[in-house]
Structure 1
Amino acid sequence: MKNKSDKFARGKGDLIKVKKQKPKILVIHGPNLNLLGKREPDLYGEKTLETVHEELEKDSRRLGIEVEMFQSNHEGAIIDRIQEAGEGCAGLIINPAAFSHTSIAIRDALLCLDVPIVEVHISNIYKREPFRHRSLISDITTATLSGFGTEGYRMALRAMADMISESI
């Protein structure tokens, strides 16, 4: 029985079985998220970034997609990774953290992508200090999740899987 994810291509007179590549979702975490579970656990929870990654890996296998995680405290590194995502990436989930309120450069990099983008914030940014109420990227993302804790990443991944399956 033929696997649905297999395609066949002809090459030099022979049928060659070609495995269809799983769509890849890139998840970018901004500054201080490497301290998840340690930094302000009353606000951000006790799960570590490693635990979040393990949950996303497990979910991605169930959803039939590939997930790649990236974290940096440096704006330029995040911009470089966004620019690299243009090739081979079916969607992007980003928690720009504090950069969401300050980085026009990250916004400009995101504008270069032609894939769905979901913005995630662990805390509800609208229940925090007034300077956190405005995100410079929300108006250019496909969707924004705020205040669901680290579960927001998993919600974003499920939504992204639905979005990209509709576009295939």
Structure 2
Amino acid sequence: MLRIGVISDTHGLLRPEAIDFLAGSDAIVHGGDIGNADILARLAALAPLTVVRGNNDKGGWAAGVPASATLEVGGVRLYALHDIADLDAAALPGDVEVIVYGHSHRPLVEQRGAVLYLNPGSAGPRRFSLPVTAAELLVDGGQVRANIALLIPRA
């Protein structure tokens, strides 16, 4: 079984709880609003890293971060972007099985037809009374399932 750690909306804060949760991942996907290059370096030290640029990722460090990315892990193809409102479903490759996104800070796992949509929520500074979360994708034999992990309870 392969484990993909999924994190988003760190906004410059990589909590120890997030590092602990992501440790041991076979790959990590960051859904944008990273905050700075240090976050990228620290995540890349844990596992192979795929990142997308969020609406708050600005400046020289973010120039090379793509708006979207695809990757394949264990025979499962993932597509990542920051804001789900920017998704052009018609332009997606037909073999995408998982869409990872962020932006709303609201964790969500939802199966829509053949595609699993995953928003890991926000692992950075707390927004409103939303929980601080991350997620994992577990890939086994070409099958995938997602779990949301509560890193810090609601305020």
Considering the TM-score relative to the shorter chain, is it more than 0.5?
A: no
Q: Report the structure, 1 or 2, having the larger helix content.
A: 1
Q: TM-score, normalised by structure 2?
A: 0.39
More strand by share: 2
Give the structure-1-normalised TM-score: 0.37
- Structure exhibiting the larger radius of gyration computed from Cα positions: 1
